[in-house]
């Protein structure tokens, strides 16, 4: 057992439109662009500046684009390298990746998930191609790729059963994740990579980065996204989770892949305010970059309690 329990230093909502990588022109990606989607990319810059000040060992990602029919799967080998091509946008995203996995922490999450009654499985196929949601989010959060990662798949409980069953499953997976981190002694950054509202246009402008075409798909989506962000900023995550089934239905949200609920479960449904670094649309979908400064909020709460004890 480690000397100190591990902890979650921060949780982030970090959406993964491949357009944001395309617009940055990193050397790993094939297609070249003239930019675009600056509001979101500048939001990611602000997030990275914050994360650079944190000391953490590992990044955990829950991704909508590794869809597993039975249970939750985790990457189970220390190294994966290949080329990732977005199946919808191969014109924008053809990314050569080479990443390291924290296998012991992944195995500990699988063991804790089983204790919650969840079906868990380790992915040990060396030729497995890591999904583009994971790669895009990891690049945007930490383009240096200098930390090992843990990747959790998205199981289909929301679709085969209901939004309510999906959320209950993801809250249990979040609890299991938090216990495994505590046992590991490591300092972890948690990444939920999903958009908010998710209706999108089906015709692409030429060039794709022509921002005169970019706006929210409809007003319903905008109002729902603002509702969700208001609850995050007010620290009302219990209410947010209670409203998620309606949000998923009305805004066709990518939250129904479970990433955000897993994150909020791991953070024990935080009541401190989240920081919204950016909100913007990509082909009409709503995307927010949001940070829950977990270690900072816990330290502030402990200090406030101590101060109250001294003064009473
Ligand atoms: Fe997606």
Q: From ligand 1's centre to the CA of 299, what distance in Å?
A: 34
CA of 194 to the centre of ligand 1 (A): 6
Comparing C-alpha atoms, which of 170, 224, 221, 209 is closest to residue 192?
170
Spatial distance between the Cα atoms of 53 and 48, rounded to a whole number of angstroms: 9
Backbone angles phi, psi at 216, to 5 degrees: -65, 150
How many whole angstroms separate alpha carbon 32 and alpha carbon 25? 6
Q: How far is the CA of 64 from the centre of ligand 1 (A)?
A: 6
Instruction: Give 18 Cα–ligand 1 centroid separation in angstroms.
Output: 9
pLDDT score recorded for residue 312: 73
φ and ψ of 172, to 5 deg: -65, -40
d(CA 17, ligand 1 centre) in Å: 7
Q: How far, in Å, is the centroid of ligand 1 from the Cα of 193? A: 8
Give the class (CATH, top level) of 7-311.
alpha beta
What's the confidence (pLDDT) of residue 311? 81
The per-residue DSSP string of 102-156 comes to -HHHHHHHHHHHHHTT--EEEE--TTPPPPHHHHHHHHHH-TT--S-EEEEEEES
Give distance in angstroms: CA of 120 to centre of ligand 1: 22
Q: For residue 312, how far is its CA from the centre of ligand 1 (angstroms)?
A: 51
Distance 95 CA to ligand 1 centre (A): 16
Taking Cα atoms as reference points, which of 113, 248, 247 lies closest to residue 171?
Answer: 113
Question: 109 exposed, middle or buried (CB, 10 Å; 0-12, 13-18, 19+)?
Answer: buried
The pLDDT assigned to 192 comes to 98
Nearest-angstrom CA–CA distance, 153 and 134 = 10
Q: How much is the pLDDT for 65? A: 97
> Ligand 1 mean position to 139 CA, how many Å?
15
How many angstroms is it from 65 CA to the middle of ligand 1?
Answer: 6
Q: What is the mean pLDDT of each run of 10 residues along the chain (312 residues)?
A: 91 98 98 98 98 97 97 98 96 98 98 98 97 98 98 96 97 98 98 98 97 98 98 98 98 97 98 98 98 95 89 77
The structural domains of the chain, with segments of one domain joined by +, span 7-311
Cα separation, 177 vs 8, whole angstroms: 10
Ligand 1 geometric centre to CA of 236 (Å): 25
Looking at residue 173, its pLDDT comes to 98
Give the Å distance between the CA of 169 and the centre of ligand 1: 20
Q: What is the pLDDT of residue 80?
A: 98
Using the mean position of ligand 1's atoms as its centre, give its distance from the Cα of residue 15 in Å: 8
């Amino acid at each position: 057992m480690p000397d100190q329990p591990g902890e979650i230093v921060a949780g982030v909502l970090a959406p993964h439109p491949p357009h944001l990588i395309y617009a940055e022109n990193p050397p790993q990606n094939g297609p070249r662009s003239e930019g675009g989607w600056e509001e979101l990319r500048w939001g990611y810059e602000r997030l990275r500046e914050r994360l650079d000040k944190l000391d953490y060992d590992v990044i955990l990602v829950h991704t909508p684009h590794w869809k597993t029919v039975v249970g939750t799967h985790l990457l189970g080998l220390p190294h994966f390298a290949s080329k990732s091509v977005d199946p919808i946008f191969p014109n924008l995203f053809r990314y050569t990746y080479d990443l390291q996995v924290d296998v012991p922490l992944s195995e500990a999450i699988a063991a804790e998930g089983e204790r919650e009654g969840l079906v868990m499985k380790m992915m040990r196929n060396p030729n497995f191609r890591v999904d583009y949601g994971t790669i895009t989010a990891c690049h945007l959060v930490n383009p240096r790729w200098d930390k090992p990662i843990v990747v959790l798949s998205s199981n289909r409980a929301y679709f085969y059963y209901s939004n309510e069953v999906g959320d209950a499953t993801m809250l249990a997976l979040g609890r299991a994740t938090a216990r495994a981190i505590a046992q590991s002694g490591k300092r972890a950054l948690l990444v939920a990579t999903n958009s908010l509202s998710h209706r999108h246009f089906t015709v692409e402008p030429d060039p794709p980065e022509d921002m005169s075409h970019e706006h929210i798909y409809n007003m319903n989506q905008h109002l729902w996204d603002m509702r969700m962000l208001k609850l995050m900023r007010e620290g009302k995550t219990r209410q947010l989770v209670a409203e998620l089934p309606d949000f998923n239905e009305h805004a066709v949200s990518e939250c129904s892949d479970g990433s955000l609920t897993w994150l909020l479960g791991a953070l024990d449904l935080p009541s401190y305010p989240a920081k919204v670094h950016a909100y913007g649309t990509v082909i009409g979908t709503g995307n927010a970059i949001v940070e829950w400064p977990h270690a900072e909020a816990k330290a502030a709460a402990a200090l406030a309690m101590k101060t109250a004890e001294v003064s009473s």
